[in-house]
Amino acid sequence: MKLKDKTYKKFIDCFEKLAKKNEGKEFEAAYSEIQMETGVASITLKKAIQILEEDGIIAVEQGRNTRYGKFKYLNETRDGADKEKNKFSEIKTDPDNVEVLIGQIKSMSNLLEQLRQRIRTQEMTISVLQDRVADVEDKLVNK
C-alpha cells in the first residue's frame, strides 16, 4: 500500500496539529474529524492511518467506539519522512531515470483519465437523481 506524497503530508500535518492541540499527549479523535481535516474519502483515511502506523508516525488504539480512535503522534519520525521526500526528489532530478519518469507520467495520465470518467459517471448520476426529485416534487405539488 502506498499514498501519494501530498496525501501523506496532509495526514502528517493533521496529526501534528492534533498533537500540538493536545500538548503531545495521547488523544482521542473522531475519524470523521480527521477525514474533514484532510479532505479524503473514508477508505483513504483507513489506508492512511494504517500506513502511518506501519511507518511509525502514529500509534493507534481503539477509541470509545468504532467512530473514534486513540492516537499518539510520535514526533521523532518527522525527520524520517523528510528524508524519504528528499530521496524521492533526488530520483526526479537524476537523468538516468528518464524511462522511470516516463512510465510514471503515463501511469498518472491513465489515472487522471479514470478519474475523469468517474466524475462524468457521477455527474450523470446526479443529473438523473435531480430529475427524479423534480418529478416527485411535481407530483407532490399537483396533489
pLDDT digit string (tens) for the chain, length 143 residues? 678 888 888 999 999 998 888 888 889 999 999 999 899 888 899 999 999 988 888 999 988 888 899 999 886 544 445 555 555 555 555 666 787 788 888 889 888 989 989 898 898 889 889 989 988 998 998 87
* CA 15/CA 48 separation, integer angstroms: 11
Residue 47: CB partners within 8 Å, gap ≥ 6?
1, 3
Could you tell me the end-to-end alpha-carbon distance of the chain, in angstroms, rounded to an integer? Answer: 55
Of 35, 37, 13, 31, residue with least CA distance to 71 = 31
Second-level CATH architecture of 5-79 = Orthogonal Bundle (1.10)
Does the global pTM surpass 0.75?
no
Cα dist. 50→6, 7, 33, 103, 124 in Å? 17, 13, 17, 27, 34
The domain ranges of the chain are 5-79, 98-142
